[in-house]
């Protein structure tokens, strides 16, 4: 599933390519978007901005229309120059937005809605979001208080709750807990003040480190998410997806187990992160 850093990068890249440009063609296979496009055509409108909000993306068009999307597990946005071959099959296409120079394609987009600013202000998912960990005004103390309020939740489950902090996903959940030497199956109520502060500061640090602006124009991100700061691509993560492999700190085999209502797999080192 794309996490907050992936959506942030995608929105930044789309904004570079589309902001200020006129839509020359809009096409979709999604009936709900087709109906709106028939009544209020997007072709001819100007793309005002593209931004991320946690794991959501907002594409704003002139005339107070906002395309809101969520990628869930498999969705993605691609940017191509006019005439360039797509890297995925047309059967996966859900949305196409064209300008004179670029073709932007949403592949396997599971959630796509068109809103006005007024309707967006009442969107149930957006109104419940906590502070965006990649937002320009992220307040770590506010996030600390929100995490503390989830006292009866297990730490790993609490970190995934977008009402606490928006943008943390399953990879970062495990990596953040390892970096702070916190067992992800502990209750939030058991955490010390230092541990809570560490979890929030590491969340901010890790996600910010993975959206560093390389000023690469419209080239989408082709690297790999890193938390270890190691140059070797095979050593880029501490524990995620490393079941039974040796811990990079102590050599103990990494363990994994499903956690929470959604049964997302959590990875941890039983020695570095004792229960």
SS (H, E, C) the chain: CCCHHHHHHHHHHHHHHHCCCECCEEEECCHHHHHHHHHCCCCCCEEEEEEEECCEEEEEECCCEEEEEECCCCCEEEEEECCCCCCCCHHHEEEEEECCCEEEEEECCCEEEEECHHHHCCCHHHHCCCCECCCCCCCHHHHHHHHHCCCCCEHHHHHHCCCCCECCCHHHHHHHHHHCCCCCCCEHHHCCHHHHHHHHHHHHHHHHHCCCCCCCCCCCCCCCCCCCCCCCHHHCCCCCCCCCCECCCCCCECEEEEECCCCEEEEECCCCCCC
Domain final residue pick, 62, 97, 127 = 127
Q: Is 117 found in the same domain as 162?
A: no
pLDDT of residue 1: 60
25 lies in some domain: yes
Same domain, 13 and 104: yes
Asked if residue 262 is part of any domain, the answer here is yes
85, 112 Cβ separation under 8 angstroms:
no
Q: Are residues 121 and 145 in the same domain?
A: no
* Domain range for 248: 140-268
How much is the average pLDDT of 250-266? 95
Calculate mean pLDDT across residues 241-249: 97
Domain's final residue, options 105, 127, 149: 127
Looking at the structure, do residues 112 and 197 belong to the same domain, yes or no?
A: no
**Which CATH number belongs to the domain containing residue 240 in this structure?**
1.10.8.50
pLDDT at 118 over 80: yes
pTM higher than 0.85: yes
Each residue's pLDDT tens digit, 120-133: 999 999 999 999 99
- Strand 264-268 to 255-259 pairing: antiparallel
Tell me if 188 is assigned to some domain: yes
Q: What is the pLDDT of residue 220?
A: 42
Averaged pLDDT for residues 200-215: 86
Determine the average pLDDT of the residues in 55-66.
Answer: 97
How is residue 232 written in tokens?
Answer: 């070797």
The mean pLDDT of 86-99, rounded to a whole number, is 96
In a shared domain, residues 214 and 182: yes
pLDDT of residue 219: 41
Q: How many domains does the chain have?
A: 2
Do 197 and 100 sit in the same domain of this protein? no
Q: Is the pLDDT of residue 227 over 80?
A: yes
**Average pLDDT for the chain:** 93
Q: Is 207 domain-assigned?
A: yes
Examine residue 61 and state whether it is found in any structural domain, yes or no: yes
Indicate whether 79 and 198 sit together in one domain.
no
Residue 3 pLDDT exceeds 90 = no
* Closest CA relative to residue 226, chosen from 215, 216, 238: 238
In the prediction, which pLDDT does 263 show?
Answer: 92
Looking at residues 70-82, what average pLDDT do you find? Answer: 92
Q: Is the pLDDT of residue 109 over 90?
A: yes
Report residue 32's pLDDT band, with 50, 70 and 90 as the boundaries.
very high
**Residue 71 and residue 172 share a domain:** no
Q: Which amino acids are annotated catalytic? A: 2-3, 55
Place of tokens 């296979």: 29
Q: Which of 98, 127, 156 is the last residue of a domain?
A: 127
Question: Is residue 221, in this structure, part of any structural domain at all?
Answer: yes
pLDDT reading at 153 higher than 80:
yes
Number of neighbours of residue 184 by Cβ within 10 angstroms: 24
Residue 273 lies in a domain: no
């Amino acid at each position: 599933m794309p996490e907050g850093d992936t959506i942030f990068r995608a929105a930044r890249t789309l904004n570079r390519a589309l902001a200020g440009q006129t839509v020359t063609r809009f096409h979709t296979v999604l009936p709900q978007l087709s109906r709106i496009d028939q009544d209020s055509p997007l072709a001819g409108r100007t793309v005002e901005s593209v931004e991320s909000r946690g794991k959501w993306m907002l594409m704003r068009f002139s005339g107070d229309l906002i395309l809101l999307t969520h990628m869930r597990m498999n969705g993605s946005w691609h940017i191509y120059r006019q005439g360039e071959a797509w890297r995925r099959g047309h059967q996966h296409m859900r949305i196409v937005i064209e300008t004179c120079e670029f073709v932007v394609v949403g592949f396997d987009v599971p959630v796509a809605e068109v809103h006005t600013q007024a309707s967006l202000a009442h969107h149930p998912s957006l109104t419940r979001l906590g502070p965006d960990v990649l937002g320009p005004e992220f307040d770590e103390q506010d996030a600390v208080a929100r995490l503390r309020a989830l006292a009866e939740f297990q730490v790993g489950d609490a970190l995934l709750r977008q009402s606490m902090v928006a943008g943390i996903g399953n990879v970062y959940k495990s990596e953040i807990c390892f970096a702070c030497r916190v067992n992800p199956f502990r209750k939030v109520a058991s955490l010390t003040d230092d541990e809570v502060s560490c979890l929030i500061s590491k969340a901010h640090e890790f996600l910010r480190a993975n959206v560093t602006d390389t000023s690469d124009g419209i080239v989408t991100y082709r690297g790999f998410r890193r938390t270890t700061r190691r140059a070797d691509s095979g050593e880029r993560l501490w524990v995620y997806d490393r079941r039974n492999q040796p811990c990079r700190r102590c050599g103990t085999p990494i363990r994994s187990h499903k956690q929470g209502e959604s049964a997302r797999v959590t990875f941890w080192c039983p020695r570095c992160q004792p229960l």
